[in-house]
Structure 1
Amino acid sequence: MDVDLRKLRYFVAVAEELHFGRAAQRLHIAQPVLSRQIRALEHELGVQLFARDRRSTVSTEAGRQLLEDARPLLASAEALHRRVRRAAHGRPTFTIAFMPGIIVTAESRALAARHPDLTVGVVRTSWNDQVEVVREGRADVSYVRLPVDQRGLRLRPLFSEPRVVVLPADHRLSGKESIDLVELVEERLLQDPDAVPEWRDLPNRSAEPNPLARPALHSVEEKLEHVAAYGGVAVLPLSTATFYTRPDVTHVPVDDLAPNQVCLAWAEGNPSPLVEEFAEIAAARYAEVTVLAGNREEADETLGDR
C-alpha cells in the first residue's frame, strides 16, 4: 500500500490538536474536507484512528501508533525535498546546527578549507528543535545535548561538561563554591523536569502551587530574564551559563548533577559523504581540546607542588 503523505499530514494535525475544527484551521482547509480525508485514510489502513463524539476527539491505540511513526516519516520526506531543492541550485551546501554555548567556527572553517566550492552555513537551535533541524533537512548535522529522541538519527559523542544552576545574583546560595541538588528543593524550576530528571526525582520536593503555570520558555535569554526577576531557577550546561554574562544572575556548580553529554547528530537517511567527514573533523577537534585541557591541569598541579 502506498502512503499518501498529504493524508498523513492531515492526520498528524488532528492527532496533535484532538479537534477537527482547530486542525482544519491550522491546515487552512475546510473541516468537511479534513473529515473525508481522515475517513479515507482509516479505510486505506483498515483501522479506526480516532474515537469521536459531540464533545471530544480521542486517538485510538492505532492512532497513537501512527502518530509516533508518521512524524519521522514526514520529517524524512521534508528533508528529501530540501536536499533535492538545494542540489537544483548547483552549488553544494552544508549546514551545521549548534546550541548556545557551543562554538563551531573551527570545524566549519576546516570543512570549507577542504572543499572550496562548498557553501558552509550555520543555524542556531534550542532544546526544543535541536534534532528536528536534521530530521527536517534544515541542517546536515546538529550539535545536540542529551537526552534526545534518537529515532532516525545517528549520534557521535563529542564531549561532556558540568551542569550548573543559574540563580539571581543576590540569592541565598549565590557565591557558594558548589551545592547539592537537595539545597534547591524549595525552588521553582523553570524548565520541563524531563530536561533535569534528577530534579524530578528529588525526595520531599514541595509540589508547585500550579505546575501548569510554568512559563513556556524557548530560549536561554528568556530563562535568564525569568531567573533575574525571581521567577525561578534554571539548570544549564556550564558553557551556556558562561556564554551569557549579566550582572543580575550568577551560576553555581551542582555536585550531584551528572555532566551534560554533547553529541553530533545527523539523519540516518542523509547520504552525503560530507556528514561522515564532518563528524571526523568534530571528533578530532574535541579530542585535541581534551588533550590540551589535560596538559594544562597537569601543568597546574606541577606548579602547585613547587
Structure 2
Amino acid sequence: MDLDLRKLRYFVAVAEHLNFGRAAEALHIAQPVLSRQIRALEAELGAQLFDRSSSGTVLTGAGVRLLDDARPLLASASALVRRVGVESFTVGFMPGLIVTPAVRVLASRHPGLRIDVLRTTWEDQVEVIHDGRVDVGYVRLPVVVDGLSCVPLFSEPRVVVLPVSHRLADKESVLEADLAGELRVHHATMPEIRTVEEKLEHVALHGGVAVLPLSTAVFYSREDLVHVPVSDMAPDEVALAWAAHRQTPLLAEFIAIARQV
C-alpha cells in the first residue's frame, strides 16, 4: 500500500487539534472533505484512528501509534523536498548557543545559498538531525550517538538559577550539596515543562531551582531571577552533530568553520 502523505498531514492536524472543525480551518479545507479523507485513511490502514462522540474526539491506540510515526515521516518528506529544491543549509541549535558567526562565514562564501536556523530542545535536538530537518546541529551532551557523527566544540560552567529572594541568591558560588532538598525544575522530572522559558517561569512563580549552562542563563536573564555558579558540577559539553551517512562538501566546510570561530 502507498501511504498518501496528504492524508497523513490531515490526520496529524486532527490529532493535534482533537477537533475536526478547527483542524479543517487550520488546513483551509471544508470539514466534510477532511472527514472523508480521515475515513479513507482509516479504511486504507484497516484501523480506527479516532473515537468520536458527543463529548469530543480522542485518539485510539492505533491513532497514538500512527501519530508517533507520522510526525518524523512528514518532517523527513519536507526535508527531502528542501534538499532537492533550492540549495539550502539548515543549522540546529540549543537555547543559549549563538551560531551566527559560523553561519555568516558560510553565507559569505556561498552568496546564493539559503541558510536557515532552527532552535531545538532536549527532546528533539537529535531527532531533527535524523529526520533531515537540519543538516547539522549544535547539541548539548549527552546525546544518543547512534547514527551520528560528532565533534566537540567547547564546554561551559553550569549555574543554578534562583529567585532573587532565595537564601543562596547572594552567594558568589555554591556546591551541589547546597542544593540538597531543593526542588529541581527539570524536563526529566517535570515532563510538562519542556522549554527554558517554562523552567524559568516555574522557578519565578513557584520556587525551586533550575540548573542551566551559563550561556543559557545569561541569554534568558530576568530581573526576578539570579544565577550562581555551581563550582563542583561537571561542565556542560557542546558538540556539533550530523547524520553519519551524510557527507557533503558543504557540511564538511561548515564543520571546519564552526570549529574555528
TM-score using structure 2 length: 0.73
Q: Does 1:177 align with 2:150?
A: no
Q: CA separation of 1:150/1:31 partners in 2, compared to 1, >3 Å: closer, same or farther? A: farther
Name the counterpart of 1:94: 89
What letter is aligned with 1:263? A
Q: CA separation of 1:157/1:184 partners in 2, compared to 1, >3 Å: closer, same or farther? A: farther
What letter is aligned with 1:177? S
Q: Which of these two proteins has the greater Rg computed from alpha carbons?
A: 1
Secondary structure of the equivalent of 2:86? helix
Secondary structure of the equivalent of 2:73? helix
CA deviation after TM superposition for structure 1 residue 8, in Å: 0.1
CA deviation after TM superposition for structure 1 residue 13, in Å: 1.5
CA deviation after TM superposition for structure 1 residue 77, in Å: 1.4
Name the counterpart of 1:35: 35
Looking at structure 2, the residues matched to 150 and 58 of structure 1 have their Cα atoms a distance apart, in angstroms, of 35
CA deviation after TM superposition for structure 1 residue 74, in Å: 0.5
Looking at structure 2, the residues matched to 141 and 117 of structure 1 have their Cα atoms a distance apart, in angstroms, of 19
Looking at structure 1, the residues matched to 60 and 202 of structure 2 have their Cα atoms a distance apart, in angstroms, of 39
Instruction: Return 131-140 or 246-255, whichever deviates more.
Output: 131-140
Name the counterpart of 1:252: 228
Q: Which of 275, 278, 286 is the aligned partner of 2:254?
A: 278
CA deviation after TM superposition for structure 1 residue 117, in Å: 4.8
Looking at structure 2, the residues matched to 247 and 263 of structure 1 have their Cα atoms a distance apart, in angstroms, of 31
Secondary structure of the equivalent of 1:86? coil
CA deviation after TM superposition for structure 1 residue 33, in Å: 1.6
Looking at structure 1, the residues matched to 227 and 39 of structure 2 have their Cα atoms a distance apart, in angstroms, of 54
TM-score using structure 1 length: 0.64
Asked whether the 8 Å contact 2:49–2:62 carries over to 1, the reply is yes
Which stretches in structure 2 are left out of the alignment for 5+ residues? none
Q: Does 1:103 align with 2:103?
A: no
Q: CA separation of 1:235/1:5 partners in 2, compared to 1, >3 Å: closer, same or farther? A: same
What letter is aligned with 2:97? I
Which stretches in structure 1 are left out of the alignment for 5+ residues? 88-92, 201-210, 287-306
Q: CA separation of 1:57/1:155 partners in 2, compared to 1, >3 Å: closer, same or farther? A: farther
Name the counterpart of 1:67: 67
Asked whether the 8 Å contact 2:138–2:240 carries over to 1, the reply is yes
Q: CA separation of 1:60/1:36 partners in 2, compared to 1, >3 Å: closer, same or farther? A: same
Q: How does 1:236-251 map to 2 (within 5 A)?
A: 236-243=212-219, 249-251=225-227
CA deviation after TM superposition for structure 1 residue 273, in Å: 3.6
**CA-to-aligned-CA distance 1:13-35 (integer Å, 9 cap, x gap):** 22223332332233232322222
Name the counterpart of 1:298: none
Q: CA separation of 1:112/1:186 partners in 2, compared to 1, >3 Å: closer, same or farther? A: closer
What letter is aligned with 1:274? L
Asked whether the 8 Å contact 1:108–1:120 carries over to 2, the reply is no
RMSD: 4.1
Secondary structure of the equivalent of 2:161? strand
Asked whether the 8 Å contact 1:107–1:281 carries over to 2, the reply is yes
Q: CA separation of 1:15/1:247 partners in 2, compared to 1, >3 Å: closer, same or farther? A: closer
User: Paired residues, what number?
Assistant: 258
Identity among equivalent positions (%) equals 57
Name the counterpart of 2:117: 123
What letter is aligned with 2:175? I
What letter is aligned with 2:102? E
Looking at structure 2, the residues matched to 118 and 2 of structure 1 have their Cα atoms a distance apart, in angstroms, of 36
Q: Does 1:140 align with 2:135?
A: yes
**CA-to-aligned-CA distance 1:224-275 (integer Å, 9 cap, x gap):** 6775677664332122224456665321234686654433344678674422
